[in-house]
Structure 1
């Protein structure tokens, strides 16, 4: 029998995809963004029929506070039937990569999360957030309590055994040095067991996928370079899209799921239309910078660049943490930014997972639009969430 879970703040579905691959069955997912939900709906509802969606909840994007206020009795009626509530509130207010802001309204979603747990009372919780979630906000010369401690205490107050730690996803086969705070809470046994299990099970998991924990960027995306050829983009007029070469690594074979894709167009593999001077600048940066480090002050001054982060990537190691801004990075061997599909590969989404909505956005629209790059940059890598799902099943 499948274990049953609810995905909160589900985004485009990275966590749900991994849980599906590890044998879990979704009940429903709550995601405020219509853009991100469109991607989840396309892949995990319309194609895979992964959720046993309840009649009382419309299959669409939802705000968690609206679901709590409008469906309190329905949520309470789920008690005893939910094995897991998975997911973590949006991280932007806590992130060290952006402007940390204690007053960011999204931080209050922590209380919505706790309220949801009180109503549903699952056996286990899996909670993910940025590393900055464990660091208190500065108040004058002091730091306030970290939100991680706040959540920890609240869950203990609800009768859960709680454990949390920083996990580096690159140690679990993801070709990216992405550190995230993972918290697990359980009413059956010890929460620490989860962290023991993901390490204990890792070697067998790698063997089953024919990969290692030493995945480099070229292992991830070298079959997607522009030099393999381009065709007209199927979803964007006046843009070019890339085609597959033969797979060059076991990681690529895993992402392609063994399908014969050579010379076919990859989903969401649309190349940016860079101006000639941008291409020349990128080429100069690739030839005169240290890979995986943001460019020097001298280079910034040479090109009069105000942008805070520009990182030429290294082909022989995993990438730094991908942000939601594609122009933070330059491809390791081509003078261009990464495509959405390359982003997805680095986040371990299989190539069959198709992204929906706009490719990019800008200005004030960033506050409410969640384009494809942002969906992926905010996601939990499915390769890690699959391993998490296996460990959580073992705990039950």
Structure 2
């Protein structure tokens, strides 16, 4: 099965699809930092070492720049280049001279310029449609950058990044795969409000794919149901080329026909030039009991295969603690056995000790605050809110009943020891002097999946009493279901204005589609492909 990966990032979705027997025809990624990780793990190309002269330039065979300010020989500057400053196609330095340069390559550059190339050079699009002689293209997949759709950030209807799903639809029109797969944040399902009017982004995206003759099946899934140790709800659209769906129709059971029914109607209305109503299409939600059975009795069943075996943070990272026995959970064994061999076969360098597990340095005051966060997670929601008011300076004292509950916990004191406070005033002084208006950071809960928001070191601290620290890149990768031999490259983290365009290791992990979710999606689509 042949596929093209757009918005490839560090490669989480691509690794999952590969484990489901999809073969990469081409990948595209905007960020050179994320691309450095993709190239290292999928092609065995160490771009940083090549730029330093440790490997010859010709060892960079499959990583290509679409348009750069810098010559191909200046790889060091290419790896640091601001992707928002790439020159337009034809005005910069390019590695794409013939159709062969796309074959099996990671193309670093804008999807907009890639579409321009395919429109200007029809032979390029033709080769992609035919998978360079390996058969018809089966799948185009991708997770367009989604910060402007996210409920965790500033929701902006007119943010330029919101056009990227439409660029993906344009690419699909040019390459005509049998299936298209789009992944996005759950926030895309929430309406934007602009001058009193509602704008439903997911519905508009579905219409865009229907207008290029694809039938869009829209889903709301959660990565934890696919085996990932993270509570990560996601919007998924599986779009089927209309002639392929007609071929599949005799093989569909009644549940599957019911799934596609509203999508077929939407597609038909658009083909007839009739503007569809928002009520014409619905999405199916795996978390709702009424929809769950439709997942369970259809090709979508891999997306809920772990709903009775939810993995936890402890399953993912307990063996990485400083005082751990080192015993790996079944979860860790699974991700290493399923995905590890795919990465290992491409390694060109000797295997090192566990990489990306460097601990970040936290000061004593921060460690004391982390212990407070751990305590907060053990309280009821109502009591937690009260204590947070004290931390924010909104109240000057705790109700006595809340104080009694908090005084049962031990805290890391300035002496460096763990002690319980016997006087309420001493407890309140400790809390007030370690207060902060930043309340987004939380301690993880060992017995639950991790929260969805994990993309920077400060998002969460460890759950263990003796591990008062943030997570390492490796721990975040474990939670996301990356195998231990998948190595993250480029800077570890960044800050300031560079956050606007840099994609360091923590962000690469946080932005990635978890490989286990990618595998479940690949298995669902391959089920349909086998029926053709």
TM more than 0.5: yes
Kindly name which structure, 1 or 2, has the bigger radius of gyration based on alpha carbons: 2
Contact 2:63 2:108 in 1 (8 A): no
Instruction: Give the 5 Å matches for 1:1-396.
Output: 3-46=1-44, 55-57=100-102, 59-72=106-119, 73=122, 74-80=124-130, 81-144=136-199, 146-187=200-241, 188-189=244-245, 192=259, 195=295, 197=298, 199-201=300-302, 213-228=309-324, 245-257=325-337, 265-290=353-378, 296-301=388-393, 302=432, 303-333=434-464, 334-396=467-529
Give TM-score, length-normalised by structure 1: 0.85
Following the alignment from structure 1 to structure 2, what is the Cα–Cα distance between the partners of residues 355 and 201? 27
Following the alignment from structure 2 to structure 1, what is the Cα–Cα distance between the partners of residues 63 and 490? 25
CA shift for structure 1 position 167: 0.3
Q: 1:102 to 1:323 in 2, by over 3 A?
A: farther
Following the alignment from structure 1 to structure 2, what is the Cα–Cα distance between the partners of residues 287 and 198? 43
Following the alignment from structure 2 to structure 1, what is the Cα–Cα distance between the partners of residues 523 and 374? 40
Q: Equivalent residue of 2:188, what SS? A: helix
Following the alignment from structure 1 to structure 2, what is the Cα–Cα distance between the partners of residues 367 and 109? 17
CA shift for structure 1 position 23: 0.6
CA shift for structure 1 position 118: 1.2
Q: 1:29 to 1:291 in 2, by over 3 A?
A: farther
Q: How many residues align?
A: 367
Which runs of 5 or more structure 2 residues have no equivalent in the other structure? Answer: 46-59, 65-98, 131-135, 250-255, 261-293, 341-351, 394-431
Q: Equivalent residue of 2:33, what SS? A: helix
Contact 1:291 1:312 in 2 (8 A): no
Over residues 346-373 of structure 1, what are the superposed CA-to-partner deviations in whole Å (9 max), with x where a residue is unaligned?
Answer: 1001111110011111110001100011
Q: Equivalent residue of 1:181, what SS? A: strand
CA shift for structure 1 position 77: 4.2
Q: Equivalent residue of 1:269, what SS? A: coil
Following the alignment from structure 1 to structure 2, what is the Cα–Cα distance between the partners of residues 340 and 126? 27
Contact 2:454 2:510 in 1 (8 A): yes
Q: Quick check: which one's helix share is greater?
A: 2
Q: 1:7 to 1:319 in 2, by over 3 A?
A: same
CA shift for structure 1 position 56: 3.1
Following the alignment from structure 1 to structure 2, what is the Cα–Cα distance between the partners of residues 142 and 305? 37
Q: 1:10 to 1:151 in 2, by over 3 A?
A: same
Give TM-score, length-normalised by structure 2: 0.64
Contact 2:148 2:161 in 1 (8 A): yes
Q: 1:60 to 1:201 in 2, by over 3 A?
A: closer
Over residues 105-155 of structure 1, what are the superposed CA-to-partner deviations in whole Å (9 max), with x where a residue is unaligned?
Answer: 1112222112111111111011100111122211133322x1211121122
Q: Equivalent residue of 1:182, what SS? A: strand
Over residues 43-62 of structure 1, what are the superposed CA-to-partner deviations in whole Å (9 max), with x where a residue is unaligned?
Answer: 01227x9x899623374422
Following the alignment from structure 1 to structure 2, what is the Cα–Cα distance between the partners of residues 253 and 354? 17
CA shift for structure 1 position 387: 1.4
2:252 aligned residue: none
Contact 2:5 2:141 in 1 (8 A): yes
CA shift for structure 1 position 182: 0.3
Q: 1:121 to 1:226 in 2, by over 3 A?
A: same
Cα RMSD of the aligned pairs, angstroms, is 2.8
Contact 1:247 1:253 in 2 (8 A): no
Following the alignment from structure 2 to structure 1, what is the Cα–Cα distance between the partners of residues 28 and 118? 13
Contact 1:292 1:320 in 2 (8 A): no
Contact 2:299 2:527 in 1 (8 A): no
Which runs of 5 or more structure 1 residues have no equivalent in the other structure? Answer: 229-244
